[in-house]
């Protein structure tokens, strides 16, 4: 008897990370289901290019491996430190790191996602008083502490009302503050302070 095949739900939540690579900026979206990584989408280079097709294929193979139960750490260890002739410097939360290839960059995105205290699909659905209270309970913080931690991620950020914040990317009222980062529950935008 084999493992039950993963049946993708209508929607999944995830986190998108922008990483500089020797081939330009790459966007890695990692989606979660029931607290576990299940999908990885990789976008780099121009549409129709060989590089973009290879990155997309790698994302599909990683997704299949995750859905079959392979731990993300095994994928991370397989991809990290694959090198090309050049490196790209990145800065996250005050820490500089290099990315030496597209696979190495994907490993960094997976590592970042594995370090989340709880994955994006466990965040409250709405940035409501109840949602803030539930998220605060899960983290052991008071709702007041969570509310006080909210700061605009940039100068273009605007509050739509006292209970929600506007995402600078998709302009929905779905921006929440978790673990020192602003995360849009609609499009996956992230910015850490």
pLDDT in tens, 126-165: 444 444 445 445 545 444 444 444 444 443 443 333 344 7
> How high is the mean pLDDT of the chain?
79
Prediction pTM value: 0.63
pLDDT in tens, 10-64: 999 999 999 999 999 999 999 999 999 999 999 998 889 999 999 999 999 999 9
Q: Which residues contact 158 (CB under 8 A, 6 or more apart)?
A: 152, 166
Q: Is 162 exposed, middle or buried (0-12, 13-18, 19+ CB in 10 A)?
A: exposed
**pLDDT for the residue numbered 106:** 98
CA distances from 140 to 124, 153, 162, 179 (A): 15, 24, 22, 12
């Amino acid at each position: 008897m084999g493992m039950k095949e993963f049946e993708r739900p209508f929607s999944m939540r995830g986190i998108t990370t922008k990483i500089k690579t020797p081939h330009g900026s790459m966007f890695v979206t990692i989606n979660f289901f029931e607290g576990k990584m299940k999908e990885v989408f990789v976008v780099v280079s121009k549409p129709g290019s060989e590089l973009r097709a290879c990155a997309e294929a790698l994302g599909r193979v990683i997704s299949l491996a995750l859905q079959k139960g392979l731990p993300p750490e095994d994928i991370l260890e397989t991809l990290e430190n694959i090198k090309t002739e050049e490196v790209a410097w990145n800065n996250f939360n005050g820490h500089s790191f290099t990315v030496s290839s597209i696979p190495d960059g994907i490993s960094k995105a997976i590592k970042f996602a594995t370090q989340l205290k709880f994955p994006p699909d466990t965040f409250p659905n709405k940035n409501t008083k109840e949602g803030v209270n539930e998220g605060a309970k899960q983290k052991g913080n008071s709702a007041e502490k969570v509310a006080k931690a909210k700061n605009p991620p940039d100068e273009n950020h605007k509050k739509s009302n006292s209970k929600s914040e506007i995402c600078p990317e998709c302009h929905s009222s779905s921006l929440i503050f978790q673990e020192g980062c602003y995360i849009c529950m609609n499009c996956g935008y992230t910015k850490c302070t």
